[in-house]
């Protein structure tokens, strides 16, 4: 696999779609994206039908991450929320996520219980405490190729200037990537990149219906971002498709009206590698090892 740091030094912005399971990761890899973003919010949406309010724990994310890493090679940026506690929890989280295949581990400066970055009512830990968490994460990682991303949610709580001050402290603490959550317009986005860009890559978060304007990757690159994630886009698209599919099935009593929008049985098996797995299994069939003497 290519060194992720080297990928970030490339000439174009990195687009990382949000995923929540191995099937989505497989489709991201098939489409040719350079990375995928494992979204804690999307795991909460799809696995539990619940909002992003800190309900998903470390072990649950690690289990999803392990399943994805077993199936695909696409580099994974992993949402680790607050690290699930203090600096000691961060150490455990980083070690576990790195073992399970994370290439980038994202930590945020919200207090518990955390909530979606585009919801109101967030609260923050002191910047000094977050600095300690970042240093703990850096000490815990086993490889310098595992990157630590520091996210601040301070714009909504303390204002843009305070958010920039926090981000600078996180950069000085050694964060490899910075993520200033929920700027409210292009002017704020340009202020973020003007002050923080150059030394470390900056990430833009595109949330459909969120507080930040939705911009195409090319414009985000021009503003000064190196990475863009669409963390909940897949879950929202699937939710929309589910609504239409179930309405059609309910009204018609079968799936015939929806067939042109579905992967059929053979296509699905080809996609998920059924023929290859059956061929591999056949190598170990008992008939191959019967005593010929």
pLDDT tens, residue by residue, 248-275: 999 999 999 999 999 999 999 999 999 9
Claim to verify: residue 217 and residue 280 sit in the same structural domain: no
Claim to verify: residue 212 and residue 247 sit in the same structural domain: no
Is 181 among the domain residues?
yes
Q: Which domain holds residue 254?
A: 239-284
- The residue whose two tokens read 């709580």 is 157
- Hey, is 180 helix, strand or coil? strand
Is 17 among the domain residues?
yes
Structural domains counted in the chain:
2
Q: Which residue among 232, 250, 266 closes a domain?
A: 232
Claim to verify: residue 22 and residue 161 sit in the same structural domain: yes
Is 291 among the domain residues?
no
Percent of residues in the chain assigned helix, strand, coil, to nearest 5: 50, 15, 35
Integer angstrom CA distances of residue 35 from 72, 79, 220, 230: 11, 13, 17, 11
Is 293 among the domain residues?
no
Is 290 among the domain residues?
no
Claim to verify: residue 93 and residue 191 sit in the same structural domain: yes
Distance between CA atoms of residues 112 and 54, nearest Å = 8
Claim to verify: residue 165 and residue 40 sit in the same structural domain: yes
Claim to verify: residue 246 and residue 214 sit in the same structural domain: no
Claim to verify: residue 156 and residue 245 sit in the same structural domain: no
Label residue 286 by pLDDT band (50, 70, 90): confident
Q: 169-202 pLDDT, tens per residue?
A: 999 999 999 999 999 999 999 999 999 988 899 9
Of 50, 42, 107, the closest CA to residue 68 belongs to 42
Q: What is the pTM of this model?
A: 0.94
Claim to verify: residue 254 and residue 168 sit in the same structural domain: no
Claim to verify: residue 182 and residue 259 sit in the same structural domain: no
166 neighbors 109 (Cβ within 8 angstroms): yes
Claim to verify: residue 133 and residue 102 sit in the same structural domain: yes
Q: Which residue among 197, 217, 232 closes a domain?
A: 232
What pLDDT shows up at residue 292?
62
Of 253, 245, 52, the closest CA to residue 153 belongs to 52
Segment 51-76 mean pLDDT: 95
Claim to verify: residue 36 and residue 173 sit in the same structural domain: yes
Domain harbouring 34, CATH code: 3.20.20.60
Claim to verify: residue 181 and residue 37 sit in the same structural domain: yes
């Amino acid at each position: 696999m290519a060194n992720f740091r080297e990928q970030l030094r490339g000439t174009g912005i990195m687009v990382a779609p949000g995923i929540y399971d191995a099937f989505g990761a497989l489709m991201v890899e098939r489409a040719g994206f350079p990375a995928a973003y494992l979204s804690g919010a999307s795991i909460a949406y799809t696995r539990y039908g619940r909002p992003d309010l800190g309900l998903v724990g470390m072990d649950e994310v690690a289990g999803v991450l392990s399943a994805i890493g077993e199936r695909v090679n696409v580099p994974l940026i992993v949402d680790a929320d607050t690290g699930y506690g203090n600096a000691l929890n961060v150490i455990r989280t980083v070690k576990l996520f790195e073992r399970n295949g994370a290439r980038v581990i994202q930590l945020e400066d919200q207090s518990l219980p955390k909530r979606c970055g585009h919801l109101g009512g967030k609260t923050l830990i002191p910047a000094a405490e977050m600095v300690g968490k970042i240093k703990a994460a850096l000490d815990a990682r086993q490889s310098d190729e595992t990157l630590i991303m520091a996210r601040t949610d301070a714009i909504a709580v303390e204002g843009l200037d305070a958010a920039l001050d926090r981000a600078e402290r996180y950069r000085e603490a050694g964060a490899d990537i910075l993520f200033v959550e929920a700027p409210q317009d292009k002017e704020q986005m340009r202020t973020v990149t003007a002050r923080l860009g150059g030394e470390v890559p900056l990430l833009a978060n595109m949330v459909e219906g969120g507080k930040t304007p939705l911009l195409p990757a090319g414009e985000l690159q021009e503003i000064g971002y190196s990475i863009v994630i669409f963390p909940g886009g897949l879950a929202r698209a699937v939710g929309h498709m589910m609504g239409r599919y179930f309405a059609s099935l309910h009204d018609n009593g079968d799936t015939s009206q929806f067939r042109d929008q579905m992967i059929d049985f053979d296509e699905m098996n080809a996609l998920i590698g059924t023929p290859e797995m059956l061929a591999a299994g056949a190598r170990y069939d008992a008939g191959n090892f019967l005593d010929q003497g």
